[in-house]
Amino acid sequence: MTNVVESDNWTGKLAHFLRTQPGVQAVRINATTRTVSVATLGVVDVGQLEAALAQTLAAVEESLGRKARKQAGFTLKQEGAVTEMASPSCETAPAFWKWRDVKWPELEPAVDSHGDESEWKELTVFASVCAVFGLAGFTADKMSVGPAWLHTGLYAIALIAGGWDAAVDSWKNIIKERKVDIHFLMLAVAVGAVAVGAWAEAVLLLFLFSSSGAMEEFALDRTNREVNALLKSAPKKATLLVPGGGEREVPVEEIGIGDHVLVRPGEAFAADGNVFKGKSASDESALTGEAVPVEKGVGDAVFSGTINLWGAVEFEVTRLPGESTLQKIIRLIKTAQKLRAPSERFTDKFGGTYTLAVLGACALMFFVWWLGFKLAPFENVGGEKSAFYRAMTLLVVTSPCALVLSIPSAILAAIAWGAKHGVLFRGGAAIEKLADINVVAMDKTGTLTTGELAVVGYESFPPGRETEIMELAYAMEANSQHPLARAIVRDAKSRNVKELGLEEFQSITGQGISGRLGGAQVMLGRRELLEKGPLAEWARKLPAAPAELAEVWVVSKDVIGRVLLRDEIRAESKRVLAELKRLKITTVMLTGDRRQTAESVAVELGLDEVRAGLTPEQKVEAIQEFKKHGKKIAMVGDGVNDAPCLAAADVSVAMGARGSDAALEQAEVILMHDRIENFLSAFRLSKRAKAIILQNLIISLGVVVLMAIAAIFGIIPLAVGVAAHEGSTVVVCLNSLRLLFGKNQ
């Protein structure tokens, strides 16, 4: 298929972007100036285009500027930092292109940027000092303790402590970015409150503001703690086995594909590979969320960052450390935290305009109260508050602190919960979109089934000699790693089948293997083995295997038989599909397998619809058909042939970090450890996250509207406005933290 990314080179991802975006003909990127333009032909969905381009640039940003690699079917120009890739539909098409500049996507800090837990502790200290000296100042003022300057000095210390972090941040923003932010607004209000003699209100404002800042940093720290555990689990050293004997310790960067590495008990596997000597079990919980140790023997796959528990194991490296499953997951999480959700981008844009609108409205209301209602401009007269005091109250209650935190706090908490429990999201957009789906399409092999065959029976002709067929099949397949062989060997061992001493093994190309037992030839393989030679006429009369089963024939000197095998259905598939049906979500199987095989699995699992015998192109057409009927569809798959329909779906979900690279490239959600039940966890998490985002927006905007009305009519004092504003910020943070500690299983 041409719909999958051809290589790990960054230009491969650009090629995929051009292929999957209707109407997009070319893209031009300047890595130095961080500018990007796209050429379109005809009508395009600009919002979808910008979102897809943002995800592509986030994935390739670190590679920009490196040498570009030409992709089949595309033209490529690279001059200095400027790269232009195009896929013209015809020779005259460029004359009709419409070039449009697209804003370089705003990227959040990487996952470990908030990893320093001392930041929230430092803010907590500042908030505590503010509270202690503020209370001391309030007590001294109300009880007339000490000289007149005492309570003023105590208040001043409290204000410095409470406003220190806000002052540092404001100074950086004003000097470096030439903009004012919420921190500046809070300081302005505090200074204004002091100017009108409201020292206690100013201290209360900065105490609550610094407390909410500490709360926010604490939430981010808890959010990233589980994610950062993956970074720390990456091994730094490895014991390399030297050809000819001996071993030496080397940095993991020096390991190459094909190298043999020794891992002792308690050590981490330094790269992905396959065991060739030894037996043990590995702790893969940091990678998959699975707490049960996984047995490892010869031929089993091992993964970087997992822990070897009890036996010395030697394995052959199959992936470089930088390309390992662990590093792939780390990159996915980093990308997820960089990509903003659509609603988050909206509030960011809204927040900047909103801040300026608030400043303008407060300035306008100052003059309205002063000149229109004849209130004193700065001094409170009797029981009447001044115009400036009311303007400061209005400024406090309309500042968008809670609004700005309402979405990112929930998104980060959801990503962290997922990373801990085996669900990886590639950004906030995936979390929001998954909550809206009403159709789930699934591949069969490797998704609803395990992809591992299991023996369901033996048959002999003539009947009654099934044990001999069993013994011959075991002997022939004992040293093979083919999926059919693994199933036969596994079944034979479970039955304690006697192992025969066969000799002279050789392969029969494309059909099977042969050997000798007691001087007689024995063959094992496909039905075609029987349909050639003296048994051809008789073999054509043998019964065909049931449609849902695979068969392996065994031929000896005086007996013929077969082994019947079936792809094992995942134990949790039936429960997951039943729960999806209860949630009113339509379930569909899209598979390339035969209809009889697919329908037998569908009936057993209770799927709503089956579409079998599909090519990758037909799977894409099926996805697009659902979308044309207004359905929001999630596609769950694991193989290379699933990549095109994953790209076509509204939400793409890949099975396991062990799935194909092509599927993982397309996936917005990854279900670790090949656990289909994690799809339910992801769906429930997305529903909860979307509900909490809505709650946060209602809380933050609701408090603003109510308090603003009260402030305009002079109903509330500054202290109440401060408490309501900062209280809503704390509530929003705590509400988002419910995602981190809640259960979505």
Q: Which of 244, 251, 139 is nearest to 199 (CA)?
A: 139
Strand bridging mode 24-30 / 294-296: unpaired
Asked about 181 being catalytic, the answer comes back as: no
The answer to whether residues 635 and 656 touch, using CB atoms and an 8 Å cutoff, is: no
Q: Which of 434, 433, 428 is nearest to 406 (CA)?
A: 428
The answer to whether residues 259 and 316 touch, using CB atoms and an 8 Å cutoff, is: yes
Tokens 């509030």 belong to: 347
The answer to whether residues 397 and 725 touch, using CB atoms and an 8 Å cutoff, is: yes
Q: Which two tokens stand for residue 459?
A: 């048959």
The answer to whether residues 592 and 614 touch, using CB atoms and an 8 Å cutoff, is: yes
- Looking at 181, 272, 443, 593, which residue is catalytic? 443
At residue 51, the 3 state secondary structure works out as helix
Helices assigned H by DSSP within 583-633: 595-605, 616-628
At residue 39, the 3 state secondary structure works out as strand
The answer to whether residues 227 and 244 touch, using CB atoms and an 8 Å cutoff, is: no
What are the backbone angles phi and psi of residue 523, rounded to the nearest 5°? -125, 150
Look up residue 131 and give its amino acid: A
The backbone region for 301, taken as left when phi is positive above 0, alpha when psi lies in -120 to 50, beta otherwise, is: beta
Q: Which two tokens stand for residue 457?
A: 């029976």
What is the H or E stretch that residue 248 is in?
Answer: strand 247-251
Q: Which two tokens stand for residue 561?
A: 């038989």
Burial readout 704-724 (b: 16 or more C-beta within 10 A, e: otherwise):
beebbebbbebebbbbbbbbb
What are the backbone angles phi and psi of residue 430, rounded to the nearest 5°? -65, -40
State how far the Cα of 674 lies from the Cα of 659, in Å rounded to an integer: 8
DSSP lists the bridge partners of residue 636 as: 442, 653
State how far the Cα of 514 lies from the Cα of 477, in Å rounded to an integer: 10
The counts of H helices and E strands in the chain are 23, 27
Tokens 């990503």 belong to: 415
CA 727 to chain centre: 32
Give the 3-state secondary structure of 349-384.
HHHHHHHHHHHHHHHHHHHHHHHHCCCCCCCCECCE
Which residues participate in catalysis according to the annotation?
443
